Amino acid sequence: MEWLTSLPPEGTPLWWYITALAGAVVVIGIAKSGFGGGIGILAVPLVASALPVSRTVGVMLPVLIAADVVAVWQHRKNTDWSALRPALLGAAVGVVLGAGVILLFRDRGVLEVALRLVVGGVCLVFVGVQVYRMVGGRVPRLPGTPVAGGIAGGVAGGVSTLAHAAGPVMSIYWLERRFSKAALVGTLVVFFFVVNWAKVPFYLGLGLMNGATLLESALVIPLIPLGAALGYWMHRRMPEGPFTAVMYAGAAAAAGWMVWRAFSG
């Protein structure tokens, strides 16, 4: 186990390093199962409490892809391809733009601060929107046209590249299209499966994914089936509302901490 003690950054206790990564992966598994709405946004700020944000996004990408494989298999019969195609075209543009933003800030030497602000800010905004919807608020609707789907996909692709936190973008958009829950989950998991794979060459080229981050990813990927099984069990045994509220509170706290760190240095 001595090699494990070399993985946490200086100043991060080993127990919290393990807890944060394992907890984030279980949350992803639960979210990919379709339980808990957009609680997957908690994963990145949770891991970022134990790792630098630039390392966090690289560690989380293979984990998300592995979770997508399980989720696509679970929900493969419920995908709405007519809605998916324009969204994926827009997402391709968004991924390229997001990678360009990372490159711009990396070259200026402020990537860590910029990612803290983006990840934390995006999570806070999305938690706010989700809470607003939970209490009965209505967000502005986009028309159900291919152009609107492409715009939503483009925003999601850019946000996903920067923060792995674009689930609520497409969830809200497709919920407004009156998707059933099965169709929503089935379409979302295929969308993010494709988008996450599209990010891989950019992350490798930008140095966000490397041998060290892949090792950390491999350590926690085996927990994904646990999260998926837990989410399936929770579907049948636990009311979704209280659990989701607690997860959103955690996401808001973690995201707020990231924004504070960005400004305080």
What number is the average pLDDT over the span 33-60? 85
pLDDT of residue 6: 59
The CA distance from 90 to 164, in Å, is: 17
Token pair for 207:
């140095």
The whole-model pTM stands at: 0.86
Q: What is the pLDDT of residues 50-81, one digit of tens each?
A: 999 889 999 999 999 998 888 888 777 888 88
The CA distance from 87 to 146, in Å, is: 8
The CA distance from 251 to 56, in Å, is: 15
pLDDT of residue 20: 93
Range name among 31-35, 112-116, 230-234 with the lowest pLDDT average: 31-35
Question: How does residue 36 score in pLDDT terms, banded at 50, 70 and 90?
Answer: low
pLDDT of residue 2: 52
Question: How does residue 3 score in pLDDT terms, banded at 50, 70 and 90?
Answer: very low
Nearest-10 Cα torsion for 173, 174, 175, 176? 60
The CA distance from 48 to 189, in Å, is: 24
pLDDT of residue 265: 62
pLDDT of residue 42: 85
Q: How many separate helices (H) and strands (E) can be counted in the chain?
A: 11, 0
* Max avg pLDDT among 57-66, 101-110, 130-139: 57-66
